[in-house]
């Protein structure tokens, strides 16, 4: 039984290496695409930012997500829009970049804190999104 246990640990390590390499290759390919087609990438990222802001507004209107989470999410989307002005150049010393990273960390902390206190099962979240029902129990 010990041999089978060690073999499963080895296979898990090999799988982790291959998954990491696959993700790295995919990200490298996406970086090449963004470098090659900067105008199209900026267009897609801009509409992704707009759609995400729309999702935050929809969450505020139709669900019981706290205002501070949605307001912080909208602030993040505004900062991402500011970062897109100089796309594809990203200045990591700019105020917009530093603020967007800090608000990202704060938003994740607050979201984990909220969803840690308010429990929704996966099926409630999934079917609530699919059929558009309210998540209240």
Note if the bond before 116 is cis, omega within 30 degrees. no
Q: Please give the average per-residue pLDDT across 110-115, as a whole number.
A: 86
d(CA 106, CA 101): 9
d(CA 94, CA 105): 17
pLDDT of 26-37, one tens digit each? Answer: 999 998 988 888
Cα separation of 40 and 80, whole Å? 17
pLDDT above 80: residue 130: no
Instruction: Provide the token pair at 97.
Output: 């970049």
The pLDDT, as a whole number, for residue 14 is 93
41, 34 contact by CB (below 8 A): yes
Per the CB < 8 A criterion, the answer to whether 49 and 91 are in contact is: no
Spans of all domains in the chain = 1-36, 37-137
Which tens digit of pLDDT belongs to each residue from 58-96?
988 988 888 988 899 999 999 999 988 888 888 888 898
């Amino acid at each position: 039984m010990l041999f089978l246990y060690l073999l499963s640990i080895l296979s898990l390590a090999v799988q982790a290496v291959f998954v990491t390499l696959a993700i790295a290759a995919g990200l490298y390919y996406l970086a090449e695409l963004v470098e090659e087609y900067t105008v199209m990438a900026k267009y897609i990222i801009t509409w992704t930012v707009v759609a995400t802001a729309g999702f935050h507004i929809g969450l505020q209107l139709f669900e019981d997500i706290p205002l501070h989470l949605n307001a912080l999410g909208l602030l993040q989307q505004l900062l991402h829009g500011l970062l897109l002005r100089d796309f594809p150049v990203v200045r990591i010393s700019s105020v917009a970049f530093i603020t967007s990273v800090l608000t990202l960390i704060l938003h994740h902390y607050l979201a984990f804190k909220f969803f840690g206190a308010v429990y929704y099962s996966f099926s409630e979240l999934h079917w609530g999104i699919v059929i558009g029902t309210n998540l209240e129990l």
